[in-house]
């Protein structure tokens, strides 16, 4: 595995500590207006041209005039590292996909995931200006002309975004990491526990989600969601030590029997998504 570190920039952007807190704040998808705090309220701003909801990389590239100054959350594949604080991200699902410049303003170093794993980036869409960005974000590279005036995401949160089957087929890659996993609910086991469909990945199986942060939040079979949280092996004793479990003894035994030592995603946030 290549450890391609992206260090945080030295800027006036307010940083946030704690990887899980970052991820929880990262993924509220509808269009956002609060760019100073990095929060993403579930509101829509009325504009002469409709702002894309749930914007994609393609929207950032092709509809940037509608997104400048707004906070967006997008997914894509890390493409090219430019320096310690900036890189490009692209969507490899589309031939000749657009490449968007990302500047790391999280206040935390970032390590590229292994090739093939997407990342989720949340940040403000801005128009690149070499002079302003170099001064504001202390960039240590000479910006190429093709980035000038191009849409750029100033990232306030970045996390790996694997598919459910990626986590279950290679859990050691993701243990103790905060991730954002998108998928369809395959089975609702009980209140607070459900599985995400592995999406036909060879060698993968459905990913179990344990919702300890919002146990009252329910999901339905076949609903598409994004879950942010930490991947860890299911060890009941460790969970009891780290979390205030409200399970009775019968439920503890049932869940431990089914999931012992298997990878589980301990959810810090669950967000609905439109079906693909």
Give the H/E segment covering residue 263: strand 263-272
Q: Is the pLDDT of residue 3 over 80?
A: no
**Tens digit of each residue's pLDDT (9 = 90 or more) over 118-171:** 999 999 999 998 888 888 887 777 766 678 899 999 999 999 999 999 999 999
Residue 54 pLDDT level (bands cut at 50, 70, 90) = confident
Give the H/E segment covering residue 250: helix 249-259
| Residues linked to residue 208 through DSSP beta bridges, in sequence order | 195, 264
Burial class, 203, CB count within 10 angstroms (exposed 0-12 / middle 13-18 / buried 19+): exposed
Residue listed under structure tokens 């070499």: 130
Tokens of 64: 């940037």
- pLDDT for 118 equals 94
Give the H/E segment covering residue 75: strand 71-83
Tokens of 19: 């990887």
Contact 174, 167 (CB under 8 A): yes
CA 268: distance to chain centroid? 12
Closest CA to 167 of 176, 158, 155: 176
Contact 207, 198 (CB under 8 A): yes
Region 164-187: mean pLDDT is: 95
> Measured between alpha carbons, how far is 239 from 73 in angstroms, rounded to an integer?
30
Residue 94 pLDDT level (bands cut at 50, 70, 90) = low
| Average pLDDT of the residues of the chain | 80
Which of 15-29, 49-63, 96-110, 251-265 comes out lowest in average pLDDT? 15-29
Tokens of 134: 């170099």
Closest CA to 267 of 211, 226, 189: 211
Could you give the domains of the chain?
A: 5-160 (2.40.50.140), 164-272 (2.40.50.140)
- pLDDT for 53 equals 65
What's the predicted TM-score (pTM) here? 0.76
Sequence-ordered list of residues with C-beta below 8 angstroms from that of 91, at least 6 positions apart, any chain:
56, 57, 58, 75, 76, 77, 97, 98
> Measured between alpha carbons, how far is 25 from 267 in angstroms, rounded to an integer?
13
Tokens of 142: 């000479």
**Tens digit of each residue's pLDDT (9 = 90 or more) over 25-46:** 333 333 333 333 333 333 333 3
């Amino acid at each position: 595995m290549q450890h391609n570190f992206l260090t945080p920039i030295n800027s006036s952007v307010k940083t946030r500590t704690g990887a899980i807190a970052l991820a929880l704040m990262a993924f509220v998808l509808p269009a956002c207006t609060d760019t100073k705090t990095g929060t993403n309220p579930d509101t829509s701003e009325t504009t002469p041209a409709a702002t894309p909801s749930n914007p994609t990389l393609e929207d950032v590239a092709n509809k940037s005039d509608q997104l400048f100054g707004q906070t967006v959350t997008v997914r894509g594949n890390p493409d090219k590292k430019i320096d310690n604080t900036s890189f490009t991200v692209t969507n490899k699902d589309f031939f000749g996909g657009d490449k968007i410049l990302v500047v790391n303003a999280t206040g935390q170093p970032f390590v590229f995931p292994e090739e093939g794993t997407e990342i989720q980036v949340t940040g403000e869409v801005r128009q690149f200006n070499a002079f302003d960005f170099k001064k504001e974000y202390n960039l240590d590279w000479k910006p190429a002309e093709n980035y000038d005036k191009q849409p750029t995401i100033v990232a306030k949160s970045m996390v790996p975004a694997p598919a459910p089957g990626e986590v279950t087929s290679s859990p050691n890659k993701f243990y103790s990491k905060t991730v954002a996993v998108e998928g369809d609910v395959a089975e609702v086991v009980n209140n607070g526990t459900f599985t995400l469909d592995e999406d036909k990945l060879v060698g993968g199986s459905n990913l179990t989600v344990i919702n300890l942060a919002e146990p009252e939040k329910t999901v339905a079979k076949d609903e598409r969601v994004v879950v942010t949280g930490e991947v860890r092996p299911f060890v009941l004793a460790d969970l009891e030590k780290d979390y205030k479990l409200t399970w009775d003894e019968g439920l503890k035994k049932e869940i431990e029997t089914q999931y012992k030592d298997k990878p589980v995603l301990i959810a810090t946030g669950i967000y609905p998504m439109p079906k693909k």
